[in-house]
Amino acid sequence: MAARSFERKFVKKVRKKIPWIAHIIDDTITASDLALSQVNFKVSRKKLCLYCRGTKRLCGKSRCPVILRFYAYVKTRKLIKDVELMGSSPPAVFVGRFGYPYVYAGPLVPPEVGDTSIYDTPEKWLFMNIEEIVNFRLKLVRGKHIVNVKKPWKAGKIIDQTIEMVLSREPVVTEVVFKKKPSSAFLLDDNVQPMGPSAPLKKLRVAGIKTDRKLEKAYYDEDLKASEAVLELYKSKVPVSRIQKAFSMGIFGLKNQRRLVPTRWSITAVDSIISSNLRDHIVKQNPLINEFRVYESVELGNRFIVVMFPSEWSYESIEAWYPGTAWNPDRKNIALCGDWESYRGRTGYASMGGCYYAARLAVTEYLAGEKRQASVLVLRESYPTYVLPVGVWLVRENVRNALRNSPKKFNTLKETLDYISTRLKIDLKIWRENSKLLRDFLVQEKITEYLK
């Protein structure tokens, strides 16, 4: 069912006319990791959706057919039918990317008052079902206000109040007046959590803000670089999702270098900043594990297998999507994609997108906590029950969940692979053919046997 090696390849060069997140990151290693000035996709046409995921228009169509199918699923939802709305924002915000550097930014507000914090805390969603998550996410109405990301201080009171919301540790009572009734265009994206209809903002008023002192300290420190602020907050146990929101609203960085960052980018940037730091400054300094390990998590229609090898750091993530899943419209074939890095890391953006960095964050924080080093392979099987994209948080939290579970330990690579083959539905041969790390370890094992 996997794509055959002799399939005709489709090559598409994607030239980004807008800068990637590297333009506000001072750490050259991380900036290089996220370089996206040009990406070449050499994949079969059957895999285009998996590499594109509704963002790169590799098929040449003006609107993504897969996203349109998702809209058909949610279009019958009850819409907001007034220009005024009052509710408790979790708090949540969204910064768009189209039209960069002039983008839409603003708060997300549900028509409910009370404790809505769960609506924007993906760290707590893993054991829910897709319907629950989609239902409360689509209640969040997006207020949109045009802003130049390079000059957020000129955007006026609406953006100032949105920044105040981001600094709050609890839901914020929010009153909004829209210029027109919210549209029926829901936002569905593989990187970003789903969210409901949107409309341009006319007025915004917030009340009941209870400031998170850790975020506030980073906000007022205009000599603290953005990446340093991210790392300090992470070390202070601030949830990654909250750091990502704050990063998106440009509250970190040197005084004259602060920028709003499209939400889609901020999620990946924060995952990359943290995981690169953990990898280079902690994990690579640790002793190796002394056995093979296999961890597993099966939630929300996805199975994640994390394999750790007793070797110096390297990392690979591979996803296999069954027919009928979110990014595989093919009716017959399983689609696979993946990326990897050696001990030296990467020199460009992973073609599989944000999922790569989300899993890498979960893996590096685990190894850093255990004070060990390993080579890591993350395998994902996405099953037909995973019908809607809900964001890369699903990858991060599934891998975290796998690593919270007790691993199966083995003394040899053969024992490890024999066990993995009983846990995955796809034949191990397919994984070997598509995994750089597995092929390398199998070759090393054969050489070792020869030397005996």
Provide the CB-side half-sphere exposure for 442 (13 A, CA): 13
* 10-15 vs 38-43, strand pairing mode: antiparallel
CA dihedral 443, 291, 372, 304 (to 10 degrees): 80
pLDDT digits (tens, 9 = 90+) for 388-444: 788 999 999 999 999 999 999 999 999 999 999 999 999 999 999 999 999 999 988
pLDDT digits (tens, 9 = 90+) for 170-195: 999 999 999 999 877 677 677 888 88
**Secondary structure element (H or E) that encloses residue 235, with its range:** helix 226-235
Rounded to two decimals, the pTM is 0.86
Cα 150 to Cα 443: distance, rounded to the nearest angstrom: 50
DSSP 53-113: TTSS-TT--SS-HHHHHHHHHHTTSPPP-SSEEEEEE-S-EEE--TTTTEEEEEEEE-S--
Higher pLDDT, 101 or 19: 101
Cα 447 to Cα 184: distance, rounded to the nearest angstrom: 60
Confidence band for 53, pLDDT divided at 50, 70 and 90 = low
In the block, which residue shows the tokens 């017959």? 332
Confidence band for 15, pLDDT divided at 50, 70 and 90 = very low
